[in-house]
């Protein structure tokens, strides 16, 4: 069964450093998402991406964050200058271009980001 993959599985970085989290979507999927889950808290929406542009973003997704699909396959989340509070599990999700109320978002296994 096709699945969403994410790399790395765990990233440790120093505060103020840039990190790039990578996701390989399921091949025929056209909508891409990033979510995060801070330890002990809910899964929170960050951003959705379609047709090479952001379609929706949350208040969490400030200027420190950016997304792109640089090579038509990987979907990346960049955090320019990491803060301690960015430590979380980051999940990529993807879906086909079908109706959003019947189409499922499939999640990757997540990247655990630890900011020291």
Partner 1 sequence: DQQVKQNSPSLSVQEGRISILNCDYTNSMFDYFLWYKKYPAEGPTFLISISSIKDKNEDGRFTVFLNKSAKHLSLHIVPSQPGDSAVYFCAAGYGNKLVFGAGTILRVKS
Torsion of CA 11, 13, 85, 35, to 10 degrees: -30
Give the 3-state secondary structure of 42-65. CEEEEEEEECCEEEEECCCCCCCE
Taking CB under 8 A as the criterion, which residues in 42-61 touch partner 1? 42-45, 48, 50, 55-56, 58
Dihedral Cα 8, 24, 78, 57, nearest 10 deg: -130
Taking CB under 8 A as the rule, does residue 25 contact partner 1? Answer: no
Asked if 100 interacts with partner 1 (CB under 8 A), we say yes
Distance in Å, CB of 49 to partner 1, minimum: 9
- By CB under 8 A, is residue 106 in contact with partner 1? yes
Q: What does the binding site for partner 1 look like in residue numbers (CB under 8 A)?
A: 4, 6, 31, 33, 35, 41-45, 48, 50, 55-56, 58, 91, 93, 100-102, 104-110
């Amino acid at each position: 069964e096709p699945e969403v993959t994410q790399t790395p599985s765990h990233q440790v970085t120093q505060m103020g450093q840039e990190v790039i989290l990578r996701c390989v979507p399921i091949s025929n999927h056209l909508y891409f998402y990033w979510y995060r889950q801070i330890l002990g808290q809910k899964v929170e929406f960050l951003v959705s991406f379609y047709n090479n542009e952001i379609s929706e973003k949350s208040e969490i997704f400030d200027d420190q964050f950016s997304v792109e699909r640089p090579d038509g396959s990987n979907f990346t989340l960049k955090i320019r200058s990491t803060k301690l509070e960015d430590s979380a599990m980051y999940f990529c999700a993807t879906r086909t271009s079908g109706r959003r109320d019947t189409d499922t978002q499939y999640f990757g296994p997540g990247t655990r980001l630890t900011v020291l």
